[in-house]
């Protein structure tokens, strides 16, 4: 007979399952708003009673998580738009300079006219988000939105200054960045909390 292993609750860092569940739920709520202006077309659906005129998404959607924390938001968007294609941008923040360093890029082909949704739970300094948008525009993207869970005035200003044509959708605008360039009060390191790492 097998017995279940009991894992002690030793603090927020060791409960990634709950953090992932909440990140997915919040992502879905924010994405409802981000997808409000998506192009649709009329389609006819046969119900058990009669035909009904409905609407279906008519534009290509490409979701682009910024690795690694952005992966924690991916399920929430794909639950809403399962036909979306997915690209990946790997970046990390240099702890000394607080500047983004790109290390990986894999984008779907032929996406110039697609709606690109950049996802990352934390928009702090804005550096990684600006760099991600730069890469997408260089690849031909013309319609880009950003979806995050928490941001701050400094991050919003940085993205809006570099890319005023890109809309940002977020669940929370927190107070500020601290001296280490972390959002206050923020969520801590979203990647660590999503995946149970340090």
Query: Mind listing the pLDDT tens digit for each residue in 76-89?
Result: 999 999 999 999 99
Count other C-beta atoms under 10 Å from residue 22's C-beta: 14
> pLDDT tens across 158-189, in order?
999 999 999 999 999 999 999 888 899 988 88
In words, the CATH class of domain 23-195 is alpha beta
Structure tokens, 86: 């997915």
Cis omega before residue 11 (within 30°)? Answer: no
Instruction: Give the active site residues.
Output: 93, 97, 189, 192
Q: Which residues contact 4 (CB under 8 A, 6 or more apart)?
A: none
Q: Give the pLDDT score at 95.
A: 76
Q: For the segment 36-77, what is each residue's pLDDT rounded down to a tens digit?
A: 989 999 999 999 999 999 998 889 999 999 998 999 999 999
Dihedrals phi, psi of 49, to nearest 5 degrees: -105, -45
d(CA 165, CA 67): 23
Beta strands in the chain (DSSP E): 40-46, 51-57, 61-67, 85-86, 88-93, 100-106, 115-119, 122-123, 143-151, 167-173, 176-177, 183-184
- The whole-number average pLDDT for the span 134-142 is 93
Among 157, 151, 159, residue whose Cα is nearest residue 184: 151
Question: In the chain, where are the structural domains located?
Answer: 23-195
């Amino acid at each position: 007979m097998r017995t279940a292993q009991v894992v002690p609750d030793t603090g927020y860092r060791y409960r990634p399952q709950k953090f992932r569940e909440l990140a997915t739920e919040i992502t879905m709520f924010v994405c409802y708003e981000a997808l409000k202006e998506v192009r649709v077309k009329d389609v006819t659906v046969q119900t058990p009673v009669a035909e009904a005129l409905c609407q279906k998404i008519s534009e290509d959607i490409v979701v682009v998580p910024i690795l690694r924390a952005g992966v924690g938001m991916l399920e929430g968007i794909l639950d809403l738009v399962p036909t979306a294609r997915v690209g990946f941008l790997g970046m990390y923040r240099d702890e000394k300079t607080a500047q983004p360093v790109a290390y990986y890029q894999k984008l779907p082909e032929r996406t110039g006219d697609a709606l690109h949704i950049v996802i990352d739970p934390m928009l702090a300094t804005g550096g990684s988000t600006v760099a991600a948008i730069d890469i997408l525009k260089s690849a031909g993207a013309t319609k880009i939105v950003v979806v995050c869970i928490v941001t701050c005035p400094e991050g919003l200003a940085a993205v809006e200054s570099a890319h005023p044509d890109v809309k940002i959708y977020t669940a929370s605008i927190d107070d500020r960045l601290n001296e280490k360039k972390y959002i206050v009060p923020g969520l801590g390191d979203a990647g660590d909390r999503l995946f149970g790492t340090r």
